[in-house]
Amino acid sequence: MRHAADEAKKHGFSNLHLCTDLVGFYEQTGFVYAGEGYHPWGESSRVYSLAL
């Protein structure tokens, strides 16, 4: 996860976002729950953000 964040920052991004159904895992790596997101096919999942 750290490598992905470092690469995103190196390429000028200030935030990294992800969608998942996992609860509690990504918070351990610094991600913050941002809310529910919806996929084009109608399913929902949790959206997390990490400030870089």
Q: What is the pLDDT along the chain (52 residues), one digit of tens a residue?
A: 899 999 999 999 999 999 999 999 999 999 999 999 999 999 999 999 999 9
Determine the pLDDT at residue 1: 87
Determine the pLDDT at residue 23: 92
**How is the chain classified by DSSP, letter by letter?**
-HHHHHHHHHTT-SEEEEEES-SSTGGGGT-EEEEEEE-TTS-EEEEEEEE-
